[in-house]
Structure 1
Amino acid sequence: MSNNAGFNVLTFELPDGSTSTVTVKRLLNAGYAGKNQEEVRAHIDELAELGVPAPTTTPALYPVSPYLAQQTSQVQVQHSETSGESEWAIIIDDNGNELLTVASDHTDRKLETLGVAWSKNASPDVLSNKAWPLSEIKNRFDNIILRGWVGQNRDLIQEAPMTALLEPTYWLNVLEERGERIPGTILLSGTITMKTGPNQFADAWGVSLEDPEFGTISAEYQVEKMSQPIG
């Protein structure tokens, strides 16, 4: 939904059954954000062989159009070479509360070879409709598992602890320095390594965060190719 100012308004269910609302004014996607930056550099070299331009610095941070933060069950794409990415996301709601949820940064892989920032603005960031208060889980990130799966058979394509990525505290400090640790901000974490075997260019994507106390939150969506253009 959107408010009168044209901003997307997202609502999240919290563990106690209450809800939290955020009017999305800033959307940021982190990239190359693995905690082991040597592995990140090796991954950048691999991507360079596929034609993806290397970032000028790591970790990277890409501003994204705020309307692309969506809670949806369907993503429409222009061609078959797009895929999701399992990520966690920080939400700063309209009351200034900091929350954690799971998200998929759906990315145009063809466009990525021309510009990573461009590819981030080609499709939605799909977020769960549930979230956890960040203050209540900040001491157990090691125990929270991030997963991604693809296709109608839900083949596992990504799995790692949250701590494989730079932790929320790192990015909250970055937001503070940028003057963006304020209501209306959503930041996605960057993603974890994909497993070889499953086809990332699948017709469905799903992502989840699993916590031993709060359970599992997830987001799933179908990927639908648009009809052919005329002209």
Structure 2
Amino acid sequence: MRFTCNGQWLDLELSHLVVAGWTGRDQAAIQHHIDELAAIGVTPPSTTPLFYRAASALLTQSPRIEVVGTGSSGEVEPLVVQAGGRQWLGLGSDHTDRTLEAHSVALSKQICAKPCAAQLWDWDSVADRLDQIVLESWIDEDGSWVPYQQGSLSAIRPLGDLITAAGLDSLARDGAVAMMCGTFGAKGGVRPASRFRMAMSDPTTGRSISHEYATVTLAEVA
């Protein structure tokens, strides 16, 4: 994949993609969400946080993805990229099939493409203020952009802890590795949309990264 960082091209051969789940710092809120999902048939996680594996080819910078049926939706997440002893912070959407999620969370993570922005920030440039970084998303509803998610990384477990727990150093021996690191609750509830817009901003410097993609629905043939 080709990214940009500090105005320069960064070409990476991605070998592993990890999707971290249940990464909130508020354990009571996590348990509440687990109970809510269990009520609709979603199996509780074996531990929290949990690190799902997905095919590296699912990570895409395309402005369009294709999904089967109408039961999928996006969610904005910080994206950690590591290769050659270096780390970067980026922006991605853990687009997930919610219908399949009730059967298997792991399979629901694998079935959809994971859109990401083409721009990365050098890790050292934000490492001292990661908790201040803000992520937001919007969905297209009836032709208007509606706020969907908003939060800072202070609501997510420290990214350094997730990097260690996921074993990224070991995985990076095979090549570049990327990890999505969790998200925030959706305003008005989780729901699908034909277009999804997301942004990550650094209040200290005023710089930001954004990405937008459309979801094309394929017929669900039985």
Same fold (TM over 0.5): yes
Choose which of 198, 209, 225 in structure 1 pairs with 2:217.
Answer: 225
Deviation at 1:143, TM superposition (A): 2.0
Equivalent position amino acid for 2:210 in 1: S
Partner of 1:129: 118
1:216 maps onto 2:205 in alignment: no
TM-score, scaled to structure 1: 0.89
Tell me whether 1:168 sits opposite 2:159 in the alignment: yes
Q: 1:201 aligns with which of 192, 196, 216?
A: 192
What are the within-5 Å matches in structure 2 for residues 4-153 of structure 1?
Answer: 10-14=1-5, 16-93=6-83, 95-151=84-140, 152-153=143-144
Q: Which whole-Å CA distance do the structure 2 matches of 1:226 and 1:177 have between them? A: 34
* Separation in structure 1 between the aligned mates of residue 43 and residue 217 of structure 2, nearest angstrom: 26
- The unaligned stretches of length 5 or more in structure 2 are none
The letter for the 1-side match of 2:186 is M
Unaligned stretches of 5+ residues in structure 1: 1-9
- Give the letter for the 1:190 counterpart: G
Distance (whole Å) between structure 1 residues aligned to residue 180 and residue 151 of structure 2: 16
The one-letter amino acid paired with 2:126 is: I
Quote how far apart the aligned CAs of 1:181 are: 4.4
Give 2:147's match in structure 1, choosing from 152, 156, 160. 156
Distance in 2 between residues matched to 1:144 and 1:177, nearest whole Å: 22
Report the residue type matching 2:162 in the other structure. Answer: W
Counterparts in 2 of 1:109 and 1:177: CA distance versus 1, 3 Å: closer
User: Which whole-Å CA distance do the structure 1 matches of 2:113 and 2:100 have between them?
Assistant: 14
Answer yes or no: is the 8 Å Cα contact 1:88–1:189 preserved in 2. yes
Give the Cα separation in 1 of the matches to 2:218 and 2:167.
39
CA distance in 2, matches of 1:154, 1:96: 39
Structure 1 position 178, deviation (Å): 7.0
Q: How far apart in 2 are the matches of 1:87 and 1:177? A: 17
Could you list the per-position Cα deviations for residues 15-41 of structure 1 after superposition, in whole angstroms to 9, with x for gaps in the alignment?
Answer: x31122221100000001101122111
In 2, are the aligned partners of 1:172 and 1:181 still within 8 Å (CA)? no
CA–CA separation in structure 2 for the residues paired with 1:214 and 1:63:
33
2:170 is aligned to: 179
State the alpha-carbon separation in 2 of the partners of residues 166 and 202 from structure 1: 28
The structural deviation recorded for 1:174 is 1.9
Contact 2:17 2:177 (C-alpha < 8 Å) held by counterparts: yes
What secondary structure sits across from 1:19 in the alignment? strand
Number of aligned residue pairs: give it: 218
CA distance in 1, matches of 2:109, 2:188: 23
Question: Normalised by the size of structure 2, how large is the TM-score?
Answer: 0.92
Q: Is the 8 A contact 2:79 2:179 kept in 1?
A: yes
Q: What RMSD, in angstroms, separates the aligned Cα atoms of the two structures? A: 1.7
